[in-house]
Amino acid sequence: MYGDEVRIKQILVNLLNNAVKYTPEGSVTLSIQLQKKEGDDVRIAYSVADTGIGIKKESIPYLFSAFKRVDEEKNRYIEGSGLGLSIVKQLVTLMGGDIEVNSVYTKGSTFVVMLPQKAVGEEQVGELDLEARHTLRKRKHYRSVFEAPKARVLVVDDNDANLMVAKKLLQDTKVQVDTASSGQECLKLALQARYEAIFMDHLMPVMDGVECLHQIRSQEGGLNSATPIVALTANADAENRAMYKREGFDGYLLKPVNGSQLEMELLRCLPRELVKITNAQGGDGAEAGPVLGHAKKQPLLITTDSVSDLPAHLARKYQIAVQPYRVMTERGEFWDGEEIETDGVLEYLMQSERSVRSEAPEAADYEAFFAEQLTKAQQIIHISMAKGASKGYANALEAAGAFGNVTVVDSGHLSSGMGLIVLYAAQAAAAGMSADDVLRKIEDMKGRTRTSFVVESTEYLARSGRMPAKIHAICETCMLHPVIVLRKSSMTVGAIHMGMRKSVWKKYIRSALRSPGRIDLRMLFITYAGLRPGELDEIAEQVREYAPFEEVIYQKASPAISTNCGPGTFGLLFLEKERGI
């Protein structure tokens, strides 16, 4: 078949995730059928059926548009699925297909996606033998699956018998194994040799595994500050697993450790170039997979919130992790950018007089987020929205108290103004700048960042409680359009323009760019809500009359930002030059 494999997979993953989420017990079934073929034209039916809670008939029309929670009572403990179904609908439509849903409330649902494709060949491309795979998983005899004779591993345990067993289990891999019977001995060896992995017993006398881990990470002259360290423990309940992650371990193994578990964890840690696969089938129930190089921890990771309105490709490029805000509607609660998207929020706002508001993540959300990111980095700088505009900074700061290597910074800005600070901080971290130097850079950028938005209608500010109803009424009557700016980490009205829409745009752009000689022309964000491409081009053309920016990025505001400003709003967000330049 000739088709968009990536997008088809994305559609199916979203539907399967949704089915699993709403099926507390029973089954989820994926089936694929060739429904019709005329010449080379083929229609494929992809069906995802579940035995879950189902959907009420009156709720089905809203599944792909407003993302309303289908049953508040039954689903109150389940996260919404708005973004997933929205993406499915959009992708199916773009590929010329259609989607339908059949559901019996409390009995289950079936989503059927019909996609046209082209058949480009009749030859058989492979054979799937599920029974053979099942047999492999039931193998009783363990055999080593790889060799890595150039790799060096350190095992730390106060029990000599455990050290002997670990060396024996790793013997067939030909890995060089050193052992240490205490934390102090481990620290000495860590100064003498560079290891590909360290397996660390948790409960040891004098110095336990957690303290030893932290000393290795900060050891002056040490060779293993970035080495993957895996906890060996007899305590792997949920609380201890969270503790190991929070403290900075790269993984954990439950004692007593068997050969396949130890090897699979070591394989995950080893650099790809040191590994030679010798038995792809594995054994002892271990399912073979591709050899993946261990993602060594970064020295410094920059994280932020979804309200930074960073383009996804830039966040990926600089490995910026993003914590979503919450979007609260009368029909449910959704994670910003993950379960609901901007156009759906704006449509919901315009079609009703109901309120939609955004809320910062709770401290517990941030704590879980930081714990996850610390599996990828030694240190985190989290850049938060202006503390006067949101509780995000305070909640993140509270969560950071559980960690010794998380610093929370008030950006003093929101949306892409905050995103600019995040972006340049991430670039500095990627270039190897120390955490202290990055923090100094952030403080400098905070004073040079210009964040402002011109609001089309004050109705949405009033709805979200950010403007008194009386002020809104005056603005509507007199055709007044406020410009929202950030000053001293708080939102305030920087100017008010009177008149029709495009006249107001010109006044705002002229005012925002009134000192082009002081502007850093490398990058401009035009961040917007509910504007069409032609309107954005018109805004960019007016911008060019005042300031020739090298790069102009059109960025759709996140749902959490859009709920406050409403459709028709846009902002110009940029940096001013450093002093003396």
pLDDT tens sequence across 182-239: 999 999 999 999 999 999 999 899 999 999 999 998 888 889 988 999 999 877 666 7
Q: How far apart are CA 89 and CA 92, in angstroms?
A: 5
- Provide the pLDDT for residue 70: 41
Q: How far apart are CA 381 and CA 435, in angstroms?
A: 8
Cross-strand bridge partners of residue 519: 576
Contact 21, 50 (CB under 8 A): no
Domains and CATH numbers, the chain: 5-121 (3.30.565.10), 146-277 (3.40.50.2300), 301-447 (3.40.50.10170), 450-575 (3.30.1180.10)
**Token pair for residue 513?**
């760019």
pTM to 2 decimal places: 0.52
- Provide the pLDDT for residue 105: 65
- Provide the pLDDT for residue 570: 93
Q: Who contacts 11 (Cβ-Cβ below 8 Å, separation ≥6)?
A: 46, 87, 88, 91, 92, 113
Q: How far apart are CA 544 and CA 143, in angstroms?
A: 67
Residue from 572, 541, 567 nearest 455 by CA: 567
- Provide the pLDDT for residue 297: 65
Q: What's the chain's Rg over C-alpha atoms?
A: 28
How is the chain split among helix, strand and coil, in percent rounded to 5?
A: 40, 25, 40
Give the tens place of pLDDT for each residue, 459-478: 777 776 677 778 878 888 88
**Token pair for residue 35?**
């429904």
Longest dimension (CA), the chain: 84
Cross-strand bridge partners of residue 552: 524
- Provide the pLDDT for residue 353: 65
Q: How far apart are CA 554 and CA 384, in angstroms?
A: 22
What b/e sequence results for 23-37 when a residue is b if at least 16 CB atoms lie within 10 Å of its CB, and e otherwise? beeeebeeeeeeeee
Residues of the chain with pLDDT under 50: 66-83, 131-141, 281-295
Residues in the chain: 581
Start-to-end C-alpha separation, the chain? 57
According to DSSP H, which parts of 106-172 are helical?
130-137, 160-169
Helix (H, G, I), strand (E, B) or coil at 513: coil
Instruction: Render 173-220 in DSSP notation, one character per residue.
Output: GT-EEEEESSHHHHHHHHHH---SEEEEES--SSS-HHHHHHHHHH-T
Q: In this structure, what DSSP letter does residue 512 have?
A: H
- Provide the pLDDT for residue 104: 63
- Provide the pLDDT for residue 451: 92
- Provide the pLDDT for residue 295: 44
- Provide the pLDDT for residue 84: 62
Residue from 418, 446, 424, 383 nearest 561 by CA: 418
Contact 474, 461 (CB under 8 A): no
- Provide the pLDDT for residue 291: 34
